[in-house]
Amino acid sequence: MDICIYFQVHQPLRLKRIYSIYKIKDPYEDYFDHELNKKILKKVAEKCYFPTNSLLLELADKHDFKFSFSITGVFIEQCKRYYPEVLDSFIELARHKNVSILSETYYHSLSSLFPSKIEFMQQIKEHKEIMAKYGISTTSAFRNTELIFSNEIASTVESLDHTVILGEGIENLLGWRSPNYLYHINKTKHIKAMLRNYRLSDDIGYRFSAKWWSEYPLTADKYASWLASTSGDTINLFMDYETFGEHHWQDTGIFDFLKKLPEEVNKYKHLSFNHPHKIAEKHRAHDTIDAHYPISWADLERDVSAWLGNDMQRECFRAVQEIETEVKDTYDKYLIHIWRLLQTSDHLYYLSTKSLSDQDVHNYFSHYDSPFEAFINYMNIINHFKGLLNGKR
């Protein structure tokens, strides 16, 4: 059985709190809170990126440990501006023979939900170009923003020569079937779906340091035994990279767990680590799945309500969509880039007004005092941006 591990690496370019649109002179400098972004990147780099990159490089060499990354263009852009050493560290890791880089959108956007898929396809191309600029090739495996997945999205991704798309292995998509197999996707021809085993993924990503959990503490040998007793062709473990050192701090033992995991897994002869595009070549599709509506890995609903669940979010999404033609008709690369940065899904994530634990997560990541402040701020910026476009006419 193949073990597929993928880490999502992303930091949004957070917006500055705009108190007066009349003081804005340069959108890139005045829309985005560069001091805050730099501060957060530095904090996460010291707690997560540097130590985890170093450890993974060691494990890739010592244990033939194979794993994959999705690294957004927005993240690379921030590293280049604020902390080049972080970028150098990822480039060194990405070029290792045991590391594969997934294809995705440059901007970690919701462009896959636009009625026209042209913008979505352009952002995938732009991501491929930024990776190539640093000598890194993306594979034929595709990971959409927050694993947003549907038949229509898979069909578009297939048209760009991808062989496999990653998704969430939830029951309302799979029914009685297991996420530990590959699947054909309705209304596509050849592309396969690899679905996250969310229980085993969340055992690390969410429950690792939870002292209330019946399996606490989680050790590498225990976890490897769970993998070994699981049936199927592939176990897909997808998680945020900040799991290591940021979401679970070093003193929880998360780095010791990661360090020992490859050795423990390798004790089982029927288990091996592999990359998504290689797994798609190796295994046949087990059955056909049908995703009429977009699903994701976010919140309890596992749909797109994390970004489009209330009227404020839908209004912001409509506002940024409706100026697509106007922006592109300027042929101004700078303005197009700003518009795409405003599409980053995190801007809408901060507008969530859910309840209980889901909203706690939204609030944890937000730099605003409330979703309503986030809405007003975003719309102020969009309206200012529209004014710039009017000046281009």
DSSP-derived secondary structure for 354-370:
--HHHHHHHHHH--SSS
Is 365 or 275 the better-scoring residue by pLDDT? Answer: 275
Per-residue pLDDT at 359 exceeds 90: no
> Residue 8 has what pLDDT?
97
- Six token digits for residue 217: 């503490």
Radius of gyration for the chain, computed over Cα atoms and rounded to the nearest angstrom: 21
pTM of the model: 0.94
Query: What is d(CA 153, CA 256) in angstroms, rounded to the nearest whole number?
Result: 38
- Residues 161 and 121: beta-carbon distance below 8 Å: no
Angle at 335 (CA atoms; ends 334, 337), nearest 5 degrees: 65
Note the pLDDT tens digit of each residue in 133-154. 999 999 999 999 999 999 999 9
Average pLDDT, the chain: 95
Q: Which residue, among 123, 116, 119, 162, has the nearest Cα to 139 in the 3D structure?
A: 162
Per-residue pLDDT at 393 exceeds 60: no
- Mean pLDDT confidence for 223-229: 98
Per-residue pLDDT at 175 exceeds 70: yes
Query: What is d(CA 192, CA 281) in angstroms, rounded to the nearest whole number?
Result: 10
Query: What is d(CA 155, CA 151) in angstroms, rounded to the nearest whole number?
Result: 6
DSSP conformational letter for 344: B
> Residue 299 has what pLDDT?
85
Query: What is d(CA 304, CA 113) in angstroms, rounded to the nearest whole number?
Result: 10
- Residues 154 and 188: beta-carbon distance below 8 Å: yes
Q: What percent of the chain has pLDDT over 70?
A: 98
pLDDT range class, residue 24, cuts 50, 70, 90? confident
- Mean pLDDT confidence for 37-45: 97
Q: What percent of the chain has pLDDT over 90?
A: 91
> Residue 23 has what pLDDT?
74
Q: How far is CA 291 from CA 79, 195, 288, in A?
A: 36, 12, 10
- Mean pLDDT confidence for 280-300: 95
- Mean pLDDT confidence for 367-385: 94
Could you list the active site residues? 146
pLDDT range class, residue 363, cuts 50, 70, 90? confident
